[in-house]
Amino acid sequence: MTPRERLLQAARDVVATDGLEGLTLRAIARHAGVSHGAPLRHFPSLAALLAALAAEGFTGLMATIDAVLDAADDEAVAQGRTLTSRQRVAVAGQAYVRFALAEPGVYSVMFRQERVDVTDEAYQLQGFAAFQQLVDLVAAAQRDGWRPEGDTVELAAVFWANVHGLAELSLHGSLAAVVGPDAAERLPLLSTTLSLGLDPDEGVAPRTARPTAGRIAPAAPGPTAPIATATHPDTTGGQS
C-alpha cells in the first residue's frame, strides 16, 4: 500500500468511527501512523484528500450497482424470465441504498460538497459517471415505453432524489423511528416500485452481491450534469 493509499484508508477508517466531525488531517495522520504534516506531502489540503476519498466512493457505488444488477439478471434468468428495464432501474435504486447503509462514512463524504475540493478532476469524473449510470438505465426504460416524453436527466434526478432521501433517512434513524427497525430493508423495494409505476408483484428485491467499496477501475464519464457540482469551497479549514 502506497503512502497515499494508506492515508485514504485512514480517512475511511476515521470517518467510519468518528464521523465527519472527527475527520481532520491530524486524525487521519494519527490513524495512518505518520506525522501530522505527512498528509500535505500527498494532498494539498484536507479538501483534496476528501475529494479523492469521495471519488473512490462514487466508483464503489457504481461497482455495487453493476454487481447487484448482474446478480438480479442472473437470478431472473435462472427462473426463466428477464428483468424489464423498469425493474432494472428499481434494482439499481435499491443497490444505491444498500451501498449507503454499508458505507455510511464514505457515503457522507461523497455528498458534502463544502468539505471536498469540487474542482478535483477525479471527483468530477466519477460524479459524472455515477449519475450517467442512472441516466442510461432510465433511458433504457424510456425506450421500452416508460414516460418516453419525459426529460431523461430530470427523470433520473428525481429518482436519485427519491433513493437518496431513503438512504439519508435510514442512516439518521428517522425511518426506523416511525416504521420500525427493518424499515431500511423493506422500504427501498416499496419506494422504487411506486416511483416507477410497477405493480407490487413486479418488484424485485435482489438478495445477492455485496456492496463494493474502495478503488475500482474508473468508469467513463458521461455528458450529463454530475452528481457533484458546487462552487469550490475554502479548502484550508479543518486541517488541524
For residue range 110-151, list pLDDT tens digits in order.
Answer: 999 999 999 999 999 999 999 999 999 999 999 999 999 999
What domain range includes position 183?
Answer: 54-202
User: Mean of the pLDDT values across residues 185-197?
Assistant: 90
103 contacts 195 by C-beta, under 8 angstroms: no
Say if 225 falls within a structural domain: no
User: Mean of the pLDDT values across residues 145-160?
Assistant: 97
Say if 234 falls within a structural domain: no
- The CATH number that applies at residue 141 is 1.10.357.10
Q: Indicate whether 78 and 179 sit together in one domain.
A: yes
Q: Indicate whether 137 and 161 sit together in one domain.
A: yes
Q: Indicate whether 90 and 137 sit together in one domain.
A: yes
Q: Which three cell numbers stand for residue 19?
A: 464521523
The pTM score is 0.84
The pLDDT score that the predictor gives to residue 200 is 66
Q: 217 Cβ partners below 8 Å, 6+ apart? A: 59
Q: How high does pLDDT run on average in the chain?
A: 86
Rg for the chain, CA atoms, rounded: 19
Q: Which three cell numbers stand for residue 49?
A: 484528500
Say if 47 falls within a structural domain: no
Confidence grade of residue 213 (pLDDT, cut at 50, 70, 90): very low
Q: Indicate whether 26 and 58 sit together in one domain.
A: no
* Residue 238 pLDDT > 70: no
Q: Indicate whether 111 and 73 sit together in one domain.
A: yes
Q: Indicate whether 18 and 123 sit together in one domain.
A: no
> What's the CA gap between 119 and 223, in Å, rounded?
17
